[in-house]
Amino acid sequence: MFLAIKQQCKSYFWRLAERRSPRAEAVVLRHRSIYVLPSKAGLGYMLAGLLVWLLGTNYQNNLILAASFLLFALFVVSVLHAFGNLSGLQLRALKAEPGFVGETLEFPVELISSRSVFHLLLQPVRGPVLRCDLGRDQANVVKIPLAAQRRGWLKPDRLLLKSYFPLGITRVWSWVYLEGKVLVYPEPRPAQFAPQYGADSSGDQGDRVRADDDFMGFVRYQPGASLAQVAWKLYARGAGLHLKQFGAQQRQSQWLDYHALLGDVETRLSGLCFLALEWHAAEIDYGLILPGTRLEPAGGDQHLQRVLSELALFNPAEVGREV
Amino acid sequence: MKSRRTIARRSLIWLLIAQLMVLAPLALHIPLWLSVTALLVIAWRWWLERGRGRFPGPWWRSALAIAVTAMLYVSVGGSFAMETMVSLLVAGFVLKLTELRREGDVYLLCFLAYFVAATQLLFFTQFLGSVYSLLCFCAITGTLLVNQMAGARSPASPSPWRTLAGLLFQALPIMLVLFLALPRLGSLWTVPLNSTAGTTGVSDSMSPGDIADLMQSDELAFRVTFAADIPPAHERYWRALVLDEFDGRRWSQSDFHDVGNGRASVWRRSDQALTELARPMSYEIMLEPTGENWLYALAVPQTDASGVDLSRGYTLFQRKPISQRKQYSVISQLFYRAQGSGLDEREKRAALQLPDTGNLQTRERARQWAEQEPGSQALINRFLRLVQSRFRYTLQPPLLGDDSVDEFLWQTRAGFCEHFASSFVFFMRAAGVPARVVVGYQGGQVNPHEGYLTVRQLDAHAWAEVWMEGVGWQRVDPTAAVAPERIDRGVEYSLDDSDAQLLANAMGRRFAAWGNLQLQWDAFNYRWHRWVMGYDNQAQQDFLRRLLGASSPWRVTLALIVAIGTVAALIVGWLFWRTREPVAPSVKIYRRLCRKLDAAGVTRWHGETPSDFAARVGQLRPEWAEDMNSVTHLFLRSYYAEDDAAFEALKHKARALLRRIG
């Protein structure tokens, strides 16, 4: 019950914070989204100021009182400077390089300000603190690490920008929601080929291996071989890519076929991703067949990216049928 | 922020220097060994920084802490005063250095340093002392700043000096506003400032030689500012205590007058008839700390100062010893008749008390004279005539034996004010006239620069008071009979050369140029004390009333908010102005065009590119399409390609278009 309320409050808080600093590709920090409070050291500073004030009050010593007022005034000025330090800072999400599930991707953010910005600390929600100083009108690119956990578009979570400048007694911060995204490809992982698949043979799905052919043995993988012929078990043992040789060899086709693999959606996509990389490295032309999508065989970096993007963004629910 | 990074060398240097600055003046007020330990620890920490030696382990640190605490306990011996606390603070402040390694540790040390620097101001309240403390505060703030800037990677980091100066310069006006407007609360609890400090000035008893000892000190006793004219020197008798008990050698206070120990009762002017013979005189005294609980004033004083009472001897006193400079205003009735109708039995007995034995010659002579003379006044005059004709005023009187009054009056006939006052009172009492000794200061030097009066220790004086029927207590100063210039001009003018050598700062008082400098500096310090240290609730009320018309709380609060808000707005304005973006001239022209189009009903959307906007203008107002397109093209060329020819054309075209629109 209590936890639920806490959760509720938390989510309300973050909604509020997000409303004050809406998601955008480029964000300029303004007073609406900048917060200043005393830091932990600042509380100590205030305590020292209070003690000095008590000393001055007790001994009715105007000079000591003036000293405590000076401490207070320094705090006020420090808050203003802290605010001025962050205010006007512009952040822009740059184009990020895609990567695979399991990797840590880098999300580049360009920081620029018409003023010098000192001792800026950037902290993603889960991640290390990055330190950065900016010269006046000097762009600085900070690469924010993002752990890719699922395929598809990865959006950076809110970014905490904070600074303890100038005296370390104030903590000025802002939550920044950058409208950027990184494409995350499935993790390349070998998957198992479906042996029964050959029974269903419709022309437009390309040539397939017949299940009733006699197994003859293994040969080294050759460019252009069908994925159905790959000896996945051998590969999984670390023996490299080999093809199963069947009695009646067929002309090898170049299709990455979703239906030719075993396992759930993610396993199959990982398998397809793995093969795409292998074939690309081996300079084989290949096409892609996904439920609802078909890419004609081709080669090259662009084709690989198209194929990987399709794999990354494949949405079984969108296809509208059980796969 | 608790940073785990090792402290940068630059911040360590700042910190150690700030520490040394904070500790230096306190060395006078903490045990010597502690100052030495502090120096050693600071030097050793620097040694470590240079890579020699290793940090001590927790055992060593605890051993050091225990040793220092034990030594502190031994040296201050359990008494608790502010000086003890300062010593403790200093000890903690220095020992923390032995475990200072991380950036985060700097904060605690800096906050401690702020507090320790503030305690300096308990002991040093002169102008220079305050400036020094301000420097300490700057050094500590600089340490915080440098610690924060340490490890910056940007080459654009500004100099810490400039940032520090900026911070302090901006903080000072806010401090000033707070200082002027924030009300002062009274003392919350009492901790004496120092437990061991001696007392200075006139003491509560008087033996031969006591006051002459004070002549060796040029120290300031108090300063006085009169509301109107300064009364002539022979009326400036600053009374501290009434001494009415004599044991043959020493004068002290009887129970009746003892204000110091609270045995005497408070006297109210309304208790006894006091006839005022002239307009009272009002003035303000700033008394240097004495460690005693009596104050100085002209007779008969009256004051509103809180905690200050009037004694039966027409002197002022308070319960707590004066451990800090004290400022109070007094209204005095210099010419008065009091208690003329008679003394009560107790007071009369005290005023006639004499020791049972001794000084037989004086007693005998007093009886004779009392019979020969018609009244008290005649008796007094005869005594004064004797003094005037036969006595010598000197700082180096011959030593006196057991019957000190006899020896002085009838044999040596040379002495200082205490000899004259003492023997006069003895003589009067022996003759049956109530009399008493009063001690305090007499005269004082007028500072020509500020028009106030400076009273120093060497102005210490003792005189007598005699009670007469119908007149009451009347001042009689036998010293005035023997050395009138002592009363009118000051002690330095009343002594011969060999005596003057014994006076403190004889040179300063004699050589005009040096004395003048001293006077000017004293005037400046006095002003500092009066207006800064003495800015109390009353002064504040007056100031605010003059400034705001009334000093009601809401008015003051409003003024405070407005003043601080203005300063803050100025600072923010400055922060932004300092770094505002320069706007290219072509952008200015384009913006002017946009404003004009806006007025004509075509508004550029936020974020709309100039080309898109030009296209939209063309759709909405086809008649401007061509001009708008060319202006936009020229603007883009001159702005992005920095094409000067395009800029010239832009100016021309834009002007034409503006005319067409408008």
pLDDT tens-digit readout, B319-359? 878 877 888 889 888 888 777 777 788 888 888 888 888 88
* Separate counts of helices (H) and strands (E) for chain B: 24, 21
pLDDT at B479 over 50: yes
B389 interfaces chain A, CB cutoff of 8 Å: no
pLDDT at A202: 37
Q: Give the closest-approach CA distance of B64 to chain A in angstroms.
A: 26
User: How many Cα atoms within 13 Å fall on the side-chain side of residue A229?
Assistant: 32
Residue (of A278, A276, A274, A213) closest to A244 by Cα position: A213
* Alpha carbon of residue A274 to chain centroid: 20
Decide which of B241 and B448 is more confident.
Answer: B241
A73 interfaces chain B, CB cutoff of 8 Å: yes
Mean pLDDT calculated for residue range A246-252: 46
Which tokens sit at B548? 């705001």
Helix (H, G, I), strand (E, B) or coil at A321: coil
pLDDT at B157: 61
pLDDT at B394: 83
pLDDT at A250: 43
For this structure, is B417 an active site residue? yes
> Is the torsion defined by CA of B310, B315, B319, B323 positive or negative?
positive
B538 interfaces chain A, CB cutoff of 8 Å: no
Report cis status (omega within 30 of 0) of the bond before A182.
Answer: no
pLDDT at B28 over 90: no
Which tokens sit at B50? 């240079």
pLDDT at B156: 55
CB atoms A57 and B163 under 8 Å: no
pLDDT at B533: 82
Do residues B593 and B613 touch, judged by C-beta distance below 8 A? no
Do residues A130 and A162 touch, judged by C-beta distance below 8 A? no
> What separation, in Å, do the N-terminal and C-terminal C-alpha atoms of chain A show?
40
Phi, psi torsion values for B126, nearest 5 degrees: -70, 165
Mean pLDDT of chain A: 79
Residue (of B417, B390, B403) closest to B364 by Cα position: B403
Residue B472: pLDDT band with limits 50, 70, 90: confident
State pLDDT tens for residues A75-117. 999 998 888 888 888 888 888 888 888 888 888 888 887 777 7
CB atoms A51 and B115 under 8 Å: yes
pLDDT at B79 over 50: yes
Residue B53 CB burial class (10 angstroms; 0-12, 13-18, ≥19): exposed
CB atoms B156 and A134 under 8 Å: yes
Phi, psi torsion values for B485, nearest 5 degrees: -70, -25
Report cis status (omega within 30 of 0) of the bond before B553.
Answer: no
The whole-angstrom separation of Cα B252 and Cα B261 is 13
From residue A230, how far is each of A45, A50, A233, A265, A266 by CA, in Å? 70, 77, 9, 20, 20
For helices B9-23 and B82-95, give the axis angle rounded to 10 degrees.
160
B540 interfaces chain A, CB cutoff of 8 Å: no
pLDDT at B504: 58
The mean-pLDDT minimum among B85-99, B180-194, B414-428, B451-465 falls in B180-194
Enter the ipTM: 0.74
Do residues B359 and B248 touch, judged by C-beta distance below 8 A? yes
pLDDT at B196 over 60: no
Length of chain A (residues): 323
pLDDT at B7: 82
DSSP per-residue letters across B470-481: TTEEEEE-HHHH
State pLDDT tens for residues A173-191. 888 888 888 889 998 888 7
User: How many Cα atoms within 13 Å fall on the side-chain side of residue B575?
Assistant: 24
What number does CATH give the domain A19-185? Answer: 2.60.40.3770
* Separate counts of helices (H) and strands (E) for chain A: 7, 17
Residue B149: pLDDT band with limits 50, 70, 90: confident
Residue (of B343, B318, B355) closest to B256 by Cα position: B343
Do residues B277 and B286 touch, judged by C-beta distance below 8 A? no
Which tokens sit at B656? 């034409």
Indicate the domain borders of chain A: 19-185, 195-319
Decide which of B128 and B197 is more confident.
Answer: B128
A56 interfaces chain B, CB cutoff of 8 Å: yes
Indicate the domain borders of chain B: 9-157, 205-517, 585-661
Mean pLDDT calculated for residue range B584-595: 83
pLDDT at A313: 87
pLDDT above 70 coverage of chain B, percent: 89
Closest Cβ–Cβ partner in A67, A72, A171 for B118? A67
pLDDT at A44 over 90: yes
* Alpha carbon of residue A153 to chain centroid: 8
State pLDDT tens for residues B89-116. 888 888 888 888 877 788 999 999 999 9
State pLDDT tens for residues B259-281. 666 555 666 655 555 677 778 88
The whole-angstrom separation of Cα B172 and Cα B163 is 14
Q: Using a CB-CB distance cutoff of 8 angstroms, which residues of chain A are in contact with residue B117?
A: 67
* Alpha carbon of residue B454 to chain centroid: 16
Mean pLDDT of chain B: 83
Do residues B175 and A63 touch, judged by C-beta distance below 8 A? no
pLDDT at B658: 86
The whole-angstrom separation of Cα B556 and Cα B540 is 11
Mean pLDDT calculated for residue range B418-433: 91
Q: Using a CB-CB distance cutoff of 8 angstroms, which residues of chain B are in contact with residue A70?
A: 134, 137, 171-172, 175
